Chain A
Amino acid sequence: MPLHRKHLIDVADFSRDEVELVLDTAEAMRTVLERPIRRAPTLRGKSIVNMFFEPSTRTRISFELAGKSLSADVVNVAASGSSVEKGESLVDTFHTIQALGADLVVMRHACAGAPDLAARHLACSVVNAGDGLRGHPSQALLDLFTVRQHAGDLEGLKLVIVGDVLHSRVARSDIWGFARMGAHVYLSGPPTLLPAGFGDLLDGDGVVRVEHDLDRAIDGADVVMALRIQKERMAGGLLPDLREYARRWGITAARLRRADRRALVMHPGPMNQGLEISPDAAYGPQSVITEQVTNGVAVRMAILYLLLAGAPT
């Protein structure tokens, strides 16, 4: 089954079959990364432009490695050092990229909806690598892939997402993705960072519940995901005291004992160790945090393959 999509903007409208297609394809892509020659000629002659208007290390490098492993040409454009600094508008930047002959644009932007704008103005495919607080679809897909590898099935799993849900696009995409696959999603964190309205974020497939008390939320969980406390977004004083946060919502090995014995510990990175996650949890036997990074390349290869192979030139 091919993916009948030109763009990857959001996982919210992905069907269960579409998610499984991406995960199955990523499974095959992993075998490419385990070969002596970690490169297939699949996207030879295709150009991928990474446009990152916000700082990013792992996502940008992950997309770059994914493109190169499929033999595409990958060009990186950062906001600093490009004509964006000289005042060029976003739409003009799109036209320039278009004229240079890109086949796919990977885009990160501080404004939600910027990739939708790109998709309207560009003739090529657009992949959202994070837009404002709205979504980070490739991260959700790699999280789903990582959990499926360990659990086998996502149906009925209890996932707890802990922390700054309000400012997290990763959380939003994960909520949609895991709920779509039939998992039960629990959100935990201080009320200032977790408005009650998230409990209504329900799409009929799974369950999304808000439980501010982490010890209750984590009870029997199959997956515990800590979110980064985004200090750069916290100018509004939503957290009076970081030590209090760590005590009440930090993921520690002691707290994990309330979860299922085989529960997975995840973090989208970069981590603030000792704040939202303690070193004994981050590097403990249940942690799959480095696997998330490795799997990210395979999942992004699958995304690039499904969007670009089979697209007429």
Chain B
Amino acid sequence: MGGNAASEDGAIGTSAAPLGAAGRLAMSAEDLRRALTRIAHEIVERNKGAANLVFVGVPRPGPLLARRLAAAVADFEGVAVPTGAVDISLYRDDLTSRAGAPDVHPTDIPGDVTDRDVVLVDDVLYTGRSARAALDALTDFGRPRTIQLAVVVDRGHRELPIRADYVGKNIPTAPHENVDVSLTELDGEDAVRITSAAGGEAADAAAP
């Protein structure tokens, strides 16, 4: 959550660039696939099954990640976990300090979330403000039994008391860097890249 301004607006940083052109590769397609498979196992283990689960992604690309997790759970557990999307733009705390209103994406919560175990799925956990907004948005739809947070990358720099329950990879970063999670459906490839905000290669000092 809150990877960077560009990815939250839906314009994933590397989408317009040629493949591999910008940034340092932090996770390959294989790394991403393994991390999501592991997270799917952890979720089912911690919740003692998959029957009560709902996966809700934060656009974009959260809903796509939620569907991949659900596919993995269906594969090894034989349970079809409902997936959906929760848009956070109407719940942001920075609407008066931004230039221009962020794009609003449709919210699609599958069924009633009351008494369900909801796993929020997002690409990057950064300041924690998007996670806070997603919690507020989700609780407008009901009272889940639990809400858990799964992210592909935890890049640090939290500004709120929020932590992830499931993390693909911890990547220490500098504030001027961006973490771009690319998915085949949106960007033509699966990869996680670190770019510097200026658009060039990330500083070596920030490598994990």
Contact = CB atoms under 8 A, between A and B. Distances in A.
A238 interface: no
B205 interface: no
A4 B90 contact: no
A1 B103 contact: yes
Given A2-B101, A4-B100, A42 B91 contact: yes
A70 interface: yes
Given A2-B99, A312-B97, A305 B104 contact: yes
A2 B100 CA distance: 5
Given A28-B106, A28-B107, A310-B95, A40 B100 contact: no
Contacts of B140: 35-37, 39-40
Contacts of B98: 309-310
B75 interface: no
Contacts of A312: 96-97, 99
B96 A31 contact: no
B96 A313 contact: yes
Nearest to B87: A28
A31 B108 contact: yes
A70 B90 contact: yes
A27 B106 contact: yes
B142 A36 contact: yes
Report whether over half of chain B's contact residues are helix, strand or loop; otherwise say mixed: loop
B141 to A, nearest CB: 6
Given A1-B103, A2-B100, A312-B97, A41 B141 contact: no
Most buried by B among A31, A36, A310: A310
A308 B100 CA distance: 9
> Of B87, B90, B102, B140, which is in contact with the most chain A CB atoms at under 10 Å from its CB?
B90
Contact of B141 (A1, A27, A35, A70): A35
A4 B101 CA distance: 9
Contacts, number: 68
Interface string A299-313: 000100110111111
A293 interface: no
Interface string B128-145: 000000001100111000
Nearest to A32: B90
Interface in A1-49: 1-4, 24-25, 27-29, 31-32, 35-37, 39-42
A3 B100 contact: yes
Given A31-B106, A41-B91, A42-B91, A310 B100 contact: yes
B130 to A, nearest CB: 15
Nearest to A4: B100
A40 B100 CA distance: 18
Contacts of B101: 2-3, 305-306, 308-310
B136 A41 contact: yes
A40 B99 contact: no
Nearest to A41: B91
Interface string A270-313: 00000000000000000000000000000000100110111111
A313 B136 CA distance: 23
Nearest to A302: B104
27 contacts: A2-B101, A2-B102, A4-B100, A24-B103, A24-B104, A25-B103, A25-B104, A27-B106, A29-B104, A31-B106, A31-B107, A36-B141, A37-B141, A40-B137, A41-B91, A42-B89, A42-B90, A42-B91, A70-B90, A305-B90, A305-B104, A306-B101, A309-B95, A309-B96, A309-B98, A310-B99, A312-B96
Given A1-B103, A35-B140, A310-B98, 7 more contacts: A28-B87, A29-B104, A36-B142, A42-B89, A305-B90, A309-B89, A311-B96
